[in-house]
Structure 1
Amino acid sequence: MLKTLGAQIKEFKKDSFLTPVFMILEVLMETIIPLMMASIIDNGVEAGDIHHIYVMGGCMVIVACISLFAGTMGGKYGARASAGFARNLRKAMYENIQTFSFSNIDKFSTAGLVTRLTTDVTNLQNAYQMLLRMCVRAPISLICAMIMAFFINARLASVYLIAVIVLGMILAIITVRAHHYFMEVFPKYDDLNASVQENVSAIRVVKAYVREDYEKKKFTQASKNIYNMFVKAEGVLAFNSPVMQIVVYSCIIALSWLGAKMIVAGSLTTGELMSLLTYCMNIMMSLMMLSMVFVMLAMSIASAERICEVLNEKSDITNPENPVYEVADGSVTFDHVTFRYNKTSDKPILDDVNLSIRSGETIGVIGGTGSSKSSLVNLISRLYDVSEGAVLVGGKDVRSYDLDTLRDEVSVVLQNNVLFSGTIYENLRWGDKNATDEECRHACRLACADEFIDRFPDGYNTYIEQGGTNVSGGQKQRLCIARALLKKPKILILDDSTSAVDTATDAKIRKAFAEEIPDTTKFIIAQRISSVQNADRIIVLDNGVVNGFGTHEELLASNDIYRDVYESQTSGSGDFDEGGAA
């Protein structure tokens, strides 16, 4: 874990080194000041030497200025180092998340990743700053103060040893108890973020079903859980202050009583006693700081572990040693393909799929809900890897291709269409960042998106809100299809991406595809048989098994599932899930 986190310090190593250097300098200067005060009292005030007072006073001012400068620089470099460390952590996590395959992403919840990128990183940032400053300052200050105290008077300094042992034991108990509660807080942060995310992303559904009160209660409960844990943790930490004060005042009383006796006996001076009292405060405050540092570090360990989970997670889909950088054509072959999302699962999602598809063919994919239609096409662009068998594109196993090369040649329009905040042009150019305005318009004509874009006052410069909330479901689908077409792919996958489009527009889109991109292999996943009946061939999936594969006429004649669904849909009585595939 330390190696993983330490690798993210990078260009802030200099700041991380200078921070403790300045903190040590500050402590050394602060340690010298009580000795100067003792000298002023013993050799200046009591001896009546005004010159000595001026000289030592001037030296104290210089030492104090050096201490102030060192403390300021330590704070400056510490802030820079910790903020830079946090920046690098967020960047490293975000970049690693981008490399994840779908199976990697499935291991983390969205809310969990958000918590790691925000709260957990902030905790580590604070802990790192305390590590560079307080973790250096407190023990050095403690050691220096103890050394100076024993140097002045070993007998009186022994009081500190007893105090340090007692206070150390009590603070250790407090730290352990508080750490237990802090460890339980972070999963509850995930619940809180999940509640917010679900409510905001599904606000229309919440309002449509008048469930605002329910969502408020859910959020309140998640927030209350965090509150309760922090109250328990802070309740334990609250003992720090009274324990600290009891020990400090006990030391002061003991030092004053014993010191007074020693002054009367002539074995201790007034200045030395004042210095010992000052070192007493230094020692006790150092222990107090150490206790807070331990609590913060204990709390940040949980955050560090969660962050390392993301940083150490490696994509299970990577480039081979000598990848292929050219896809010959859009032919696709499924060679005895078996696929499981969970490798330990007994029942496969796809079982022994054997298909051979020629380049340029239009392939329909039909099946009931949960029949693994999307899982089948996800294997083509290697969003998942097969468990057994092989998927070949252009005559080569998809695992032999460079990932970027393969995915550049496969355009996918998913069921959940996503548009980003920006103009229509900017969204379209996700398909090809160098596409000209005319190429964008041509893609929109093929997707029948130009019909509604031309009606917008700003046309293709119309601003799309985040998630495409200011366009309808059908408009969003057509924009996503146009975006996919701009890639000029060898394979185009439409995963139920015309479900919100009327039948006439659906037919126009399919006709445009047949005429304009005849060399592109097209996979059309649909629930409506009318969307795929003109395809060159149609795959009928049933519970992860290919139940039929042929033309519309061949399946009507030979496939019971396809025939039953066709008859139910043409008679207007149902959809695919109500037919023979149910």
Structure 2
Amino acid sequence: MSRLGRLINRYIRPYWGLLSVVIVLQVIATIMSLYLPNLNADIIDQGVVKGDTDFIWRTGGIMLLLSGVQALAQIGAVWAGANAAMQFGRDVRAAIFERALSFSTRELNKFGAPSLITRNTNDVQQVQMLVLMTCVMLVSAPITMVGGVFMALRNDIGLSWIILAAVILLGVGIGVLVSRMGPLFQAMQTKIDSLNRVLREQITGIRVVRAFVREPHEAQRFKDTNADLVDTTTRVGRLMAFLFPFVMFVMNISTIAVMWFGAKGIDAGTSQIGQLTAFIAWLMQILISVMMTTMLLMLAPRAAVCADRIMEVLDTETSVAPPKSPTPSPTAAGRVDFGTVDFTYPGAEAPVLSDVSFALAPGRTTAIIGSTGSGKTTLVNLIPRLFDATDGAVLVDGLDVRDYNPDDLWARVGLVPQKPYLFTGTIASNLRYGKPDATEEELWAALEVAQAADFVREKEGQLEAPIAQGGTNVSGGQRQRLAIARALVKKPKVYVFDDSFSALDVATDARLRAALKPETADAAVLVVAQRVSTITEADEILVLEHGEIVGRGTHEELLETNPTYQEIVMSQLSAEEAAA
């Protein structure tokens, strides 16, 4: 089964009841539409020609009644079909979102945020539209084609060749158009991804763009990407522009042929005017059904491309899948052990981390320092299991992180990432992210420790002051302090600060570290830092170089024994002296 079929079959099942209603109502509406031309022919041949006014009124009343039934059935079918299609789209979007939430950083990097957004919006919309049009058309079109042919042949078999010729001509012509659209639809979805990526980069990085005066360059980059999409869309539009003129041409030629050859039958007395009128009505219904079917075929290639992209996400298993039978979580104590841990990115020639072993203990602060690219952030991400170690094990309170229920593991770890991210909302909603029931007193206490209380009090609304997406309406230092406060509100047993003090001035950094000590006295603390002054008071400092621990000890011990640490310290002292 194709991915499109699998996707529709998987998520349309809960709505078979609605689809059954659609089928019944479409059958009723189709039967009415096929029977009405017959009544119209009777009015012409038996009422108008013979002058039977009572018959005209009686038959006309029946036509009105059947037309009302047809209209109500069609409205009900469209309502039920639209309901099923919209709920189908909702479920698919929810499934993509849930699967994306389960992804590790590896899978997220593979797809990219712009592509995941496009797949969850535009791609789902295309498949949803196919489901809707299928509900509206797929039942009625085959019945109309078969029933129309039967009624037309029953009416005048001598004109049947016109139906056959018109259907073949229409089917072949539209088939050619549809076959040429498939590759263009594939290219179109890819180009929509590219446009979203460029737009996201430019909006997110607007400060960098302005700082380097690159507005003309970025405007041209957007223009080129946009023009590329427009070009592909225009090519699709040109092909579609042929569709309706071609259909109308076939319908008009068919009508002329029926009138031309039917007129000879009327002249010879073998046919009646009403019969000819009914035959034309059935011919139009047949051709419109063919057109509706081919419209579905036109939607199908693009929907198939979108379904492939959607199923690619849904079929991707996370590399950090939760265990099928999680081990009961041990008592939360706050101990973390790295046991000869190695980590290698897929396709990489060399490991990022090699034979890393150390322990975090409650009441102790462990710091990690090293050059850019030494593997510090990768190491940190192994604790909350954003990645899985390729060799060795990371234990939290004596249990391998791979055996934890994810919620239990994350409840023990308070992570402040290297790039702190705030969500749209208020300061309070962001601080309560890890503890929704936190009181205002708890929020202010966390802000005081994080040295953020003063600037929050200065804001209009204080805790209810608005925060823009990503925290773009606060400075980098304020964003870091709010992220630290968010972790403090959670009160985890393990605190992980991944270069979380880099945007703070030295004085604020010192005050924050001093305030953190009593707050984290019963928890294990891991601090990743570039600045030596941030980690001088740590109980243990690990020096990381090329993914390996090349030194460990206190600040004083490393100054005496470790050349790499000495080099880092001297480079920063030199920089400070030069600045002085």
Do they fold alike, i.e. is TM over 0.5? Answer: yes
In the TM superposition, residue 311 of structure 1 has moved relative to its aligned partner by 2.3
User: Take 1:303 and 1:79, find their aligned partners in 2: how far apart are those partners?
Assistant: 20
Q: For residue 470 of structure 1, what is the amino acid of its counterpart?
A: N
CA offsets per residue over residues 470-509 of structure 1, 9 Å max, x none?
Answer: 3221111111111101111111011111001111221222
- SS of the counterpart of 2:490? coil
Alignment of 1:237-252 (within 5 A): 237-252=240-255
In the TM superposition, residue 435 of structure 1 has moved relative to its aligned partner by 1.5
Q: For residue 546 of structure 2, what is the amino acid of its counterpart?
A: N
Instruction: Specify which of 73, 82, 86 is matched with residue 83 of structure 1.
Output: 86
Instruction: Specify which of 12, 18, 36 is matched with residue 9 of structure 1.
Output: 12
> What's the TM-score once normalised by structure 2's chain length?
0.95
Residues 1:329 and 2:320 aligned together = no
Residues 1:565 and 2:568 aligned together = yes
Instruction: Specify which of 62, 79, 92 is matched with residue 95 of structure 2.
Output: 92
- SS of the counterpart of 1:341? coil
> What's the TM-score once normalised by structure 1's chain length?
0.95
- SS of the counterpart of 2:94? helix
- SS of the counterpart of 1:498? coil
Q: For residue 181 of structure 1, what is the amino acid of its counterpart?
A: L
In the TM superposition, residue 9 of structure 1 has moved relative to its aligned partner by 2.9
Q: For residue 24 of structure 1, what is the amino acid of its counterpart?
A: V
Answer yes or no: is the 8 Å Cα contact 1:326–1:405 preserved in 2: no
Answer yes or no: is the 8 Å Cα contact 1:365–1:539 preserved in 2: yes
User: Take 1:21 and 1:234, find their aligned partners in 2: how far apart are those partners?
Assistant: 35
Per the alignment, residue 349 of structure 1 pairs with 352
Answer yes or no: is the 8 Å Cα contact 2:330–2:397 preserved in 1: no
Q: Which moved more, 1:8-17 or 1:220-229?
A: 8-17
Measured at CA, do residues 495 and 269 of structure 1 come closer, stay the same or move farther in structure 2, by a change above 3 Å?
Answer: same
- SS of the counterpart of 1:316? coil
User: Take 1:42 and 1:569, find their aligned partners in 2: how far apart are those partners?
Assistant: 103
| Gap regions ≥5 residues in structure 1 | 576-582
CA offsets per residue over residues 71-91 of structure 1, 9 Å max, x none?
Answer: 211222222222221122212
Per the alignment, residue 189 of structure 2 pairs with 186
User: Take 1:517 and 1:253, find their aligned partners in 2: how far apart are those partners?
Assistant: 89
Per the alignment, residue 338 of structure 1 pairs with 342
Answer yes or no: is the 8 Å Cα contact 1:372–1:544 preserved in 2: yes
Q: Which moved more, 1:167-176 or 1:212-221?
A: 212-221
- SS of the counterpart of 1:134? helix
User: Take 2:14 and 2:219, find their aligned partners in 1: how far apart are those partners?
Assistant: 44
Per the alignment, residue 363 of structure 1 pairs with 366
Residues 1:462 and 2:465 aligned together = yes
Residues 1:200 and 2:203 aligned together = yes
Measured at CA, do residues 400 and 245 of structure 1 come closer, stay the same or move farther in structure 2, by a change above 3 Å?
Answer: closer
Answer yes or no: is the 8 Å Cα contact 2:360–2:525 preserved in 1: no
Q: Which moved more, 1:111-120 or 1:306-315?
A: 306-315
CA offsets per residue over residues 440-478 of structure 1, 9 Å max, x none?
Answer: 122122212223223335333333233222322111111
Instruction: Specify which of 210, 231, 235 is matched with residue 232 of structure 1.
Output: 235
Per the alignment, residue 210 of structure 1 pairs with 213
- SS of the counterpart of 1:337? strand
Q: What is the total number of aligned residue pairs between the two structures?
A: 574
CA offsets per residue over residues 396-421 of structure 1, 9 Å max, x none?
Answer: 21112211111111111011111223
Per the alignment, residue 374 of structure 1 pairs with 377
Answer yes or no: is the 8 Å Cα contact 2:7–2:307 preserved in 1: no
CA offsets per residue over residues 322-346 of structure 1, 9 Å max, x none?
Answer: 323234422222111111221x433
Q: Which moved more, 1:276-285 or 1:2-11?
A: 2-11
Q: Which moved more, 1:472-481 or 1:44-53?
A: 44-53
Instruction: Specify which of 156, 176, 180 is matched with residue 159 of structure 2.
Output: 156
CA offsets per residue over residues 267-301 of structure 1, 9 Å max, x none?
Answer: 22221111111112112222222221110112111
Q: For residue 346 of structure 1, what is the amino acid of its counterpart?
A: E
Per the alignment, residue 31 of structure 2 pairs with 28
Q: For residue 301 of structure 1, what is the amino acid of its counterpart?
A: A
Answer yes or no: is the 8 Å Cα contact 1:9–1:88 preserved in 2: no
CA offsets per residue over residues 152-201 of structure 1, 9 Å max, x none?
Answer: 12221122112212221121111111222112100000011112211221
User: Take 2:577 and 2:373, find their aligned partners in 1: how far apart are those partners?
Assistant: 17
Answer yes or no: is the 8 Å Cα contact 1:327–1:409 preserved in 2: no
Measured at CA, do residues 84 and 182 of structure 1 come closer, stay the same or move farther in structure 2, by a change above 3 Å?
Answer: same
User: Take 2:481 and 2:122, find their aligned partners in 1: how far apart are those partners?
Assistant: 38
Measured at CA, do residues 91 and 209 of structure 1 come closer, stay the same or move farther in structure 2, by a change above 3 Å?
Answer: same
Q: For residue 323 of structure 1, what is the amino acid of its counterpart?
A: T
Instruction: Specify which of 525, 528, 533 is matched with residue 525 of structure 1.
Output: 528
Per the alignment, residue 580 of structure 1 pairs with none
CA offsets per residue over residues 14-52 of structure 1, 9 Å max, x none?
Answer: 222222322222121111111111111222222222222
Per the alignment, residue 50 of structure 1 pairs with 53
User: Take 1:124 and 1:13, find their aligned partners in 2: how far apart are those partners?
Assistant: 17
Over the matched positions of the two proteins, sequence identity in percent amounts to 37
Answer yes or no: is the 8 Å Cα contact 1:568–1:574 preserved in 2: no
User: Take 1:103 and 1:92, find their aligned partners in 2: how far apart are those partners?
Assistant: 19
User: Take 2:396 and 2:422, find their aligned partners in 1: how far apart are those partners?
Assistant: 28
CA offsets per residue over residues 370-411 of structure 1, 9 Å max, x none?
Answer: 111000111111111110111112122111221111111111
User: Take 1:327 and 1:99, find their aligned partners in 2: how far apart are those partners?
Assistant: 25
Per the alignment, residue 489 of structure 2 pairs with 486
Q: For residue 334 of structure 1, what is the amino acid of its counterpart?
A: F
Measured at CA, do residues 457 and 162 of structure 1 come closer, stay the same or move farther in structure 2, by a change above 3 Å?
Answer: closer
In the TM superposition, residue 147 of structure 1 has moved relative to its aligned partner by 0.9
Residues 1:441 and 2:455 aligned together = no
- SS of the counterpart of 2:25? helix
Answer yes or no: is the 8 Å Cα contact 2:360–2:526 preserved in 1: no
CA offsets per residue over residues 525-564 of structure 1, 9 Å max, x none?
Answer: 1111111121111111111111111111221122111111
Alignment of 1:265-414 (within 5 A): 265-320=268-323, 321-342=325-346, 344-414=347-417
In the TM superposition, residue 10 of structure 1 has moved relative to its aligned partner by 5.4
Measured at CA, do residues 459 and 280 of structure 1 come closer, stay the same or move farther in structure 2, by a change above 3 Å?
Answer: closer
Per the alignment, residue 43 of structure 2 pairs with 40
Answer yes or no: is the 8 Å Cα contact 2:78–2:135 preserved in 1: no
- SS of the counterpart of 2:110? coil
Measured at CA, do residues 472 and 243 of structure 1 come closer, stay the same or move farther in structure 2, by a change above 3 Å?
Answer: closer
Answer yes or no: is the 8 Å Cα contact 1:335–1:355 preserved in 2: yes
Answer yes or no: is the 8 Å Cα contact 2:364–2:523 preserved in 1: yes
Answer yes or no: is the 8 Å Cα contact 1:496–1:526 preserved in 2: yes
Q: Which moved more, 1:398-407 or 1:248-257?
A: 248-257
Instruction: Specify which of 82, 103, 106 is matched with residue 106 of structure 2.
Output: 103
User: Take 2:459 and 2:224, find their aligned partners in 1: how far apart are those partners?
Assistant: 44
Measured at CA, do residues 512 and 573 of structure 1 come closer, stay the same or move farther in structure 2, by a change above 3 Å?
Answer: closer
User: Take 1:247 and 1:170, find their aligned partners in 2: how far apart are those partners?
Assistant: 10
Residues 1:426 and 2:435 aligned together = no
Measured at CA, do residues 530 and 65 of structure 1 come closer, stay the same or move farther in structure 2, by a change above 3 Å?
Answer: same
- SS of the counterpart of 1:8? helix
User: Take 1:99 and 1:78, find their aligned partners in 2: how far apart are those partners?
Assistant: 32
In the TM superposition, residue 237 of structure 1 has moved relative to its aligned partner by 2.1
Measured at CA, do residues 523 and 275 of structure 1 come closer, stay the same or move farther in structure 2, by a change above 3 Å?
Answer: same
Q: Which moved more, 1:95-104 or 1:34-43?
A: 95-104
